[in-house]
Structure 1
Amino acid sequence: MNSPLRKVAISVLVLFTLLILNANYIQVVRSSELRANPSNTRILAEEYDRERGAIVVAGNPVAQSVATDDTLTYLRQYPNAEVYATVTGYYSLVYGNSGIERAENDILSGSDDRLAFRRIADLFTGRDPSGGNVELTIDPAAQQAAFDALGGVDGAVVALDPATGAVLAMVSSPSYDPNQLSSHDPAAIRAYSDQLSAQDPDPRTNATISERHSPGSVFKLITSAAALQDGYTPDTVVPAPQQYVLPGTSRPLNNYNGESCSGSGEQPLIDALTISCNTAFAELGVELGEDRIRSAAEAFGIDQGQFDVPMTVAESTVGDIDGDAQLAVASIGQQNVQITPLQGAMIAAAIANDGTLMTPYLVDQLQAPDLSVVDQTEPTEMGEPVSSEVAQQLQQMMVSVVENGSGRRAQIDGYTVGGKTGTAQTTADSDDNQWFVGYAGPDGDPQIAVAVFIQGGQGTGGDLSAPVAQQVMSAYLAARGGN
């Protein structure tokens, strides 16, 4: 064989070898990854030939598959679609899946290893294969109240059971209709997707867990926790000047609307939180030091990385702090402090639960197609950010906020309500963001913790977010019959 032919033969051999190696790599090494890829429409098409399991809230499906006369055997449908879109996500022939549809896809599609015996039985009996169900922790009264109270404004609501961590409500607003992304008409699906993409924010974004914002005065709960753990009490008198010059600068920090917190320039810590005194907490944060502020924040889950509920929750963070001037501003929830609404609810829940932070979870149980339980979520502790004594002091201070201060519009007749408002500055050209975090229940028995975030609202957290929280908590307590 002459030299040119030999080179061609070797080149062909190398190419065939690379082709075989690549085929094996794709089929063996990356097979699971590619199969799980939500953009793999071939796998989705195969799944449309089997009945996908339901996503269930309080015994009623909020996502289900129905038989059709189409080429694709089943169509995914979402009763009360916009109310539950934040949690269900969509199951789309074109765009794959999201939300619980993605996080629990293996159970819903029937491919989960825990359903292996069921699949074998289907094979031998000739029974049509089907997926399992996902039972959520969502409370329908709280979810509907959150959706209605937001009224389509840009914002988010998360509610938790403080004792277990179960997610009682999860609403990101504005919402969308997952039915239109889950039809069998690709052109219509793409057209609706284009409509959603043109909106700002895109309604498909789950703002409760994936969007982070400055919490404003909500972070004063963290600063308060750090102070109480350092030996302060709610009655400890702290400086509360009308204006506080940030350390090392000539820049003054003012209270809301330039108001005075106290005629004497000082006040008890509980009063400072009740009226949300900026200067008091900025100076207090500097006095405590960065290490104590960071440690308190981390204990509540901030700067502790992502976690799943089972959808992935973005990490909340205190951010970089360069010197005491930035520490002062961070201590009132500005500077680089960024948290998710879920994190806000976790702070309130831990305080309500006497200092124990439970791991948030959205799935109560997974069921086989015959409704037998294949997995049940057991509540677990995420940590103990504060002692029971400190938690009860924080409860006392949060109740004062609602009864005497900026959170009055969260009051519920016959129940004890504690909370903290927040009004966070964004940019000079944008309206402030509004927060409320809190809890409610019979005296001594907090039963629901909530966080409400409203983006760019006209007013304060007490004006806008507190009433939303009040409606959600009231609906949940009323549905439980006050027990």
Structure 2
Amino acid sequence: MNAPLRRVAISVLVLFTLLIINVNYIQVVRSEELRDDAGNTRVLAEEYDRERGSIVVAGTEVALSVPTEDRLTYLRQYPQGPTYAPVTGYYSLVYDNAMIERASNEILAGTDPRLFARRLADLFTGRDPSGGDVVLTLDPAVQEAAMAGLEGVTGAVVALEPSTGAVLGMASTPTYDPGLLSSHDPAAIRAYWEELNAAERDPRLNRAVSDRFSPGSIFKVIVSAAALSTGEYTPDTVVPAPDTLTLPGTTTELENFGGSSCSSSGEQSLIDALTVSCNTAFAQLGIDLGEDRVREMAEAFGMDGEEREIPLTVVGSSIGDPENDAELGVSSIGQQDVQMTPLQAAMIAAAVGNDGTLMAPYLVDQLRAPDLSVLDETDAEVLGEPVSAEVADQLTEMMESVVAEGSGRAARIPGVTVAGKTGTAENAGPDHNWFIGFAPADDPQIAVAVFVANGGGTGGDVSAPIAREVMQAFLDGQGE
């Protein structure tokens, strides 16, 4: 063989070798990555040829697949789309999936290993393959009341069953119609996507779990818990409550809300300080307790900065890293770098209502096979005991006072004792508004957190009425 032919042969051999290496790299090394790529619509097209499982709330399908006459065998529908969109998410031919549609995709798509026997039977019997169902813990009355309460504002509501951690309601606004992202018309899907992109506040976010906010005075429950747990404080312990507090090492004067006075004497009981949400009292209390005690209590309630899966991904909440006593004082009233998700806020209320025991929140009750047999069922799980039952009782007494006599009056329910705490948090725009609480206070059945972004008012006048309606909806349903 002459030299030119030899060079051509070697070049061809090298090219074939590179081609074989590339094919193996794509098919073996990158196969899972490419399969999971949101831009890979081939996998979605294959999934549309089988009936996707349903997402179920209280026996009603809030996401289901129906047969069609077009080239894609099934169409995903959301009969109450905007009401449950923050939880269900969407299942899109163009934009993949989100929320429960993503978190529970293997069950819904029928690819979960627990459905292997079913898939094998389908292969031999010729039966059309189908996915399993995801049964959520949501209570329809709670969800509807939460979404109605948030109408016209940007915010979130989370309701939990204190004794188990089951999520009874998870609302986020603004919302959207997932059905418009799940059609078989790519042009229409993209047009709606661009409409959502242009919105001032992204409707596709679930603000209950995907973002953190300054909690303001609801954080005073944490500081109260830290104080009571030392054994050196009771609800009746008198603490300093001046009109202004000069933050240590600075000339900055910390004021109470609206420049108000908490007490004519400059001091008051701890229960009264929480009832009127006295900033100076709690800033000084946090400084006196020290960062370690405040941080340890916050982390015990779940504010450890770590993500959790419910199975939706929940971003971590934390108190930040105050560098000195001045920053610790501001942190102790829920400002500075303290950041909290609405879910975390509900966990605080639920733990107090559950005799000091914090339960792991969960959104999925059951996973079911296509024949409705139960593949898996969520068991209640204890995350920790941030406070003793005795301290929880003291916190409950103090939070009852907030609703009965203080800033949380708008959360009162006739014939029911409600425990709660309001919060108004300063930020770059109008104030954020919060309320956390539980009812009935003597036998808590529901714990709730309400967050309204840039509501501009106070937690007592903006968020507390929404919490009342949510708790009332649940309690009314329990009596039926």
State if a TM-score over 0.5 links the two structures. Answer: yes
Question: For 2:399 and 2:345, how far apart are their aligned partners in 1?
Answer: 14
Describe the SS at the equivalent of 1:199: coil
Residue aligning to 2:189: 189
Residues 265-276 of structure 1 aligned to structure 2 (within 5 Å): 265-276=266-277
CA pair 15-216 structure 1, distance change in 2 beyond 3 A = farther
Q: Which amino acid in structure 2 is aligned with residue 421 of structure 1?
A: T
Match of 1:479 among 458, 471, 477: 477
Q: Which amino acid in structure 1 is aligned with residue 219 of structure 2?
A: F
Q: Which amino acid in structure 2 is aligned with residue 221 of structure 1?
A: V
Residues 64-463 of structure 1 aligned to structure 2 (within 5 Å): 64-231=64-231, 232-427=233-428, 430-441=429-440, 444-463=442-461
Q: CA deviation at 1:157?
A: 0.4
Does the 8 A contact of 1:152 with 1:175 survive in 2?
no
Q: CA deviation at 1:36?
A: 3.1
Q: Which amino acid in structure 2 is aligned with residue 343 of structure 1?
A: Q
Q: CA deviation at 1:317?
A: 1.3
Question: For 1:408 and 1:136, how far apart are their aligned partners in 2?
Answer: 32
Q: CA deviation at 1:459?
A: 1.1
Q: CA deviation at 1:28?
A: 2.3
Q: CA deviation at 1:39?
A: 3.1
Q: CA deviation at 1:389?
A: 1.1
Q: CA deviation at 1:11?
A: 5.8
Question: For 2:420 and 2:128, how far apart are their aligned partners in 1?
Answer: 52
Q: CA deviation at 1:304?
A: 4.2
Q: Which amino acid in structure 2 is aligned with residue 388 of structure 1?
A: A
Residue aligning to 1:41: 41
Question: For 2:437 and 2:12, how far apart are their aligned partners in 1?
Answer: 69
Cα offsets for 1:323-382 (capped at 9, x unmatched): 111100000000001110000000101110011111000000000000000001111011
Question: For 1:278 and 1:284, how far apart are their aligned partners in 2?
Answer: 10
Q: Which amino acid in structure 1 is aligned with residue 403 of structure 2?
A: V
Describe the SS at the equivalent of 1:168: strand
Q: Which amino acid in structure 1 is aligned with residue 139 of structure 2?
A: D
Q: Which amino acid in structure 2 is aligned with residue 470 of structure 1?
A: R
Does the 8 A contact of 1:407 with 1:420 survive in 2?
yes
Q: CA deviation at 1:18?
A: 4.1
Question: For 1:79 and 1:223, how far apart are their aligned partners in 2?
Answer: 44
Cα offsets for 1:435-470 (capped at 9, x unmatched): 0011112x5210001110001113100000000000
Question: For 2:291 and 2:18, how far apart are their aligned partners in 1?
Answer: 56
Q: CA deviation at 1:6?
A: 6.4
CA pair 22-416 structure 1, distance change in 2 beyond 3 A = farther
Question: For 1:7 and 1:393, how far apart are their aligned partners in 2?
Answer: 87
CA pair 18-233 structure 1, distance change in 2 beyond 3 A = farther
Q: CA deviation at 1:152?
A: 3.0
Question: For 1:205 and 1:15, how far apart are their aligned partners in 2?
Answer: 47
Does the 8 A contact of 1:38 with 1:102 survive in 2?
no
CA pair 216-7 structure 1, distance change in 2 beyond 3 A = farther
| Aligned sequence identity (%) | 67
Question: For 1:66 and 1:446, how far apart are their aligned partners in 2?
Answer: 40
Question: For 2:225 and 2:125, how far apart are their aligned partners in 1?
Answer: 61
Q: CA deviation at 1:319?
A: 1.0
Residue aligning to 1:464: 462
Q: Which amino acid in structure 1 is aligned with residue 238 of structure 2?
A: V
Does the 8 A contact of 1:146 with 1:468 survive in 2?
yes
Question: For 1:5 and 1:314, how far apart are their aligned partners in 2?
Answer: 63
Please list every run of 5 or more consecutive structure 1 residues that lacks an aligned counterpart in the other structure.
Answer: none
Describe the SS at the equivalent of 1:416: coil
Describe the SS at the equivalent of 1:218: helix
Question: For 1:390 and 1:9, how far apart are their aligned partners in 2?
Answer: 83
CA pair 124-267 structure 1, distance change in 2 beyond 3 A = same
Cα offsets for 1:171-210 (capped at 9, x unmatched): 1101100010000000000000101111121100110000
CA RMSD of aligned residues (A): 1.5
Q: Which amino acid in structure 1 is aligned with residue 430 of structure 2?
A: D
Please list every run of 5 or more consecutive structure 2 residues that lacks an aligned counterpart in the other structure.
Answer: none
Is the deviation greater in 409-418 or in 135-144?
409-418
Q: CA deviation at 1:413?
A: 1.4
